[in-house]
Structure formats: structure tokens, C-alpha cells
Amino acid sequence: MDAKIFALPILGATLLPSFAFAKEKPNVVIIVADDLGWGDVGFHGSLIPTPNVDKLASEGIELNRFYTAPVSSPTRCGLLTGRYPSRFGIRETVIPPWRDYGLDEGEETIADVLGRNGYSNRAIIGKWHVGHGKKAYYPLNRGFTHFYGCLNGAIDYFTHEREGELDWHDDWESSYDRGYSTDLIASEAARCIKEYSKEGPYLLYVAFNAPHAPYEAPEDEIKSLIPKSEFDGLKNKDKKGWTYRAMVSRMDKGVGRILDALDASGEKDNTIILFMSDNGGVPGMEPYCNNMPHKGNKFEEWEGGVCNVAVAMWKEGFKNGGRKLDQVTGFVDVLPTLVDILDIDDAPKHPYDGISVFSVLRGKRKSIDRDMYLGCGAAVNQHYKMILAHKNNRLKLENDYFTDILANPEEKTDGKKYPKKEVSRLRDVIKAGDAIVPSHPELPYDYGKKDFKAPKEWKIIE
């Protein structure tokens, strides 16, 4: 493999030392939505009320070209490690309940790195979804000091069950807290902010399971969007659609509670806040779940699956003010960027695949030229995007697809001829990425499902 393609640039060579302009190390709050469509926030024209995320966008920076994997677990693995999920055998599908492996035990997480550098409190609140088959994969064994939420994806929002067993935890113990999971996640995040703000800088990773299926929302939230008499008369798909909208609205209220807690702590200005979706909205839920004007959906390397809603803000460190940033960036850049901001000079255990975009967030540079591997036969850079045929069968591509993504953001059929140099470079990036040998072979989603029985309250002994 060409090392140049995946080598991490020198992080702090041309930047001011660490956080010298801040009073102390910034807190880090990462908020992840689950299956949120590009068009499902107010600042992208949605009918769904999302005033809190909208305010974050208006005060901070809209990351207009923030890329992820097209499905959940791979994005979470890349976010946590700064490395492509292809390296872990977690790329084309999520980790289902019956899977006994997870994020490779030898990988460092964002919590490991910050833990070595002055962050004594490091919490994951919400959906984990990167391994539950062994205790070695659990959050408290991956650098986090507190875990509150679910190990699996797609839990019931009210009973907190998956495969008929309670999947709701408080550190190592089962939690029998009652309530809508979105509300519980927001409450716990706010509680942690109040507690941790007294004890130095902290990491808070808030992973909502909303608005992922099953489509369930509190009745009062649905009523706030549509009268009950109208809702009761709708067909099943439309009921699901309005429930979906209520789930997004309720999640936005949860974001508001987190932002209010930061305000109350007096530390909001010196907190790095990232809001993002793990992938695009699901197919078949249109027009309620909306990826427009992007083409495609979750599961696909079209923009609708991988170019997702994201907002960043750090009042003491970024150039904010509601600007739109067209820098190609994404999930694998989060950890390298934090390492740059904090001027961490200890070498990573494994080279990062992401880069630092701190200089662009600060407004010191307009953009950074880079090629970003999107996995499964796809790559993108500041100007062009390429998807190879016959890699992801959902796309039904008979020929390789190459386009000027700036001129053709909707990815319409493009018969233009492009410079051979550009085509060749992206093809080489894709070939190098596709050639990655994972630490564990990736298994089909249904592998191991037959006769699987969930452990009692999802407690693993091993």
C-alpha cells in the first residue's frame, strides 16, 4: 500500500501551540444522531422543528462536506479511532446482536488518547454499537470512565429491549430507569456536564439512537406536530413518517438540554461541540425522512448516504459565526483534529487515516487538498468523486462513476471526460483502501443469527 495515501500529516507544524488562546483545555462534546437525513434539520429547509441544532449552526460552523460511512457501526469505529473501519472488518454492515466480535482490542480510542492527556472524565451516553460479545469490547474497557445507554442498535425506545432482553446499562450494571430513551440520554448528558464541569476538562460522547427504527415517539411530541385526530386517520406509512418527525423534534429538544447544561456550567465558550449524523436517512421513508438534494440513502456511497449533517462550534478556538465550510472532512478526522488542538505529541499507537482540519476551522487556511477514501470502492476530494462499479451492489453501477462533485452535487449521470491524472489518482486511493486487510474478516449481517438467544439483560461473563 502507498503509505502516502494514509499517512497522517504533521499535525502542529504550522499552528500556534495547542490551546494557548483558551484559559484551559477545552471540554469535548460529540453528539451523534442515528440515521438523520440531510434535509431533516431546519437549516437545510426541513419542516421538522430543530431550533437547537439550527442555533448551533447559526453560531458555529456548518460542515457542508462532512463524510461518514454509509452505516452505523463503521462510522462509530472510525469516529472513535481516526482510522478507516475497513481495518477492523466492520465496513459494509453493522454489528448485529448475534455478532461476537467488535472494534479490535488493539485499537486506541478517542477516550484512551484524551485519558492520557488530562481528561479524567470520559463518558459515552447512548448507543455504543461497536462490540458487545466480550467484555473487552465494552465502553469501560475502551478508555471511557462512564457508560449509560445501550450496547446494541435498534432498541425499543420505551422498554429498552433488544431481542427480548433489557439492553440499558449504567456502567457495568443493568439500569431499570423508565422513560423514552432520547430523554434519558439527554438527562444523563446534562447531569454529567454539571458534575464534570467542577473537575477539569472532560469528554462527553452523546450517541442518540434517534431517529433510527423502531419508529416510536412520545404521544405529546407527535401531538405537538400534528393533531391526534389527523394522526389517527393516517395510513401506516404516514403514521410512521409523522412519528419519525416527532423523534427528530424530540432529539433536538435533547440537544437543547445539553446546550443549556453547558450554558449553566459557564464553560460553553471553551467547549468543542460537534453535532453529526452517523449516516444518511433511510430509504423508503420519503418525504418524511429527506436526503434531498443529495442522491441516495443510508447503505450507499452516493452523497445521500455518506455526506451528512454536521455542525462544529468552539467559541474560543474556531472562526464561528454561521459560516459554511466546504472542506472535505469527516468521521476519521475528529480524533486527529483534537490531537492537533491539544498539541498532543505522543505518537498514536496506529497511524491515523484522518487528518487535522483545525487550521481550516480556525480560519487560518481556506482549505486542505486531500483525497478521502469512503470505503467499498469510493473516494472523494475537494473537486471530484469516484465510485467503482460492482463494489456495492445496491448502487447497481455497471460502469465506474466519476464526476466533478462541486459542479454536480446531485450526482446526475455524467458523461463528461475528465483529466486522466485526476481519475487515476482517485482510482489509486480506492484501490489502496479496498486492499486493506482487516484484523477480522467481515461477516454477513445474518451470520450467526440462527438459534441466537440474547444473554439475560445483555450481561456478558467473558
What CATH code is carried by the domain that includes residue 170? 3.40.720.10
Report the C-alpha gap between 307 and 324 in whole angstroms: 14
> Considering the domain boundaries, does residue 74 fall inside one?
yes
At residue 221's C-alpha, the angle toward residues 231 and 237, to 5°, is 40
> Considering the domain boundaries, does residue 195 fall inside one?
yes
CB atoms closer than 10 angstroms to residue 219: 10
> Considering the domain boundaries, does residue 130 fall inside one?
yes
What is the model's pLDDT at position 416?
A: 85
Grid cell, residue 141, equals 474497557
Contact of 99 with 449, CB cutoff 8 Å = no
Report the C-alpha gap between 292 and 280 in whole angstroms: 10
- Residue found under cell 454477513: 444
Grid cell, residue 252, equals 433536538
CB atoms closer than 10 angstroms to residue 174: 16
Residue (of 207, 195, 203, 105) closest to 145 by Cα position? 203
Contact of 367 with 382, CB cutoff 8 Å = yes
> Considering the domain boundaries, does residue 67 fall inside one?
yes
Report the C-alpha gap between 318 and 312 in whole angstroms: 9
Residue 138 CA: distances (Å) to CA of 135, 168, 275, 462: 5, 13, 23, 11
Tally of domains in the chain:
1
> Considering the domain boundaries, does residue 395 fall inside one?
no
Q: In what order do the strands lie in the sheet with 27-33?
A: 173-174, 169-170, 146-150, 121-127, 202-207, 27-33, 271-277, 310-313, 61-63, 323-325
- Produce one character per residue of 9-41: b if its CB has 16 or more CB atoms within 10 Å, e if not: eebbeebeeebeebeebbbbbbbbbbbbbbbbb
Grid cell, residue 190, equals 446534562
- Residue found under cell 405529546: 220
Contact of 297 with 305, CB cutoff 8 Å = yes
Cα within 13 Å of Cα(367), Cβ side: 15
Give, as one character, the DSSP assignment of residue 135.
G
3-state helix, strand, coil in the chain (%, to 5): 30, 15, 55
Sign of CA dihedral 159, 161, 164, 169: negative
Angle between helices 72-81 and 334-341 (to 10 degrees): 20
Grid cell, residue 271, equals 467547549
What is the domain range of residue 67? 25-369
Q: pTM for the full model?
A: 0.94
Angle between helices 236-265 and 51-59 (to 10 degrees): 50
> Considering the domain boundaries, does residue 424 fall inside one?
no
> Considering the domain boundaries, does residue 432 fall inside one?
no
> Considering the domain boundaries, does residue 317 fall inside one?
yes
3-state secondary structure of 308: strand
Q: Tell me the pLDDT of the chain (462 aa) as tens digits.
A: 333 344 434 343 333 444 544 458 999 999 999 999 999 999 999 999 999 999 999 999 999 999 999 999 999 999 999 999 999 999 899 999 999 999 999 999 999 999 999 999 999 999 999 999 999 999 999 999 999 999 999 999 999 999 999 999 999 999 999 999 999 999 999 999 999 999 999 999 999 999 999 999 999 999 999 999 999 999 999 999 999 999 999 999 999 999 999 999 999 999 999 999 999 999 999 999 999 999 999 999 999 999 999 999 999 999 999 899 999 999 999 999 999 999 999 889 999 999 999 999 999 999 999 999 999 999 999 999 999 999 999 999 999 999 999 999 999 988 788 999 999 999 999 999 999 999 989 999 999 999 999 999 999 877
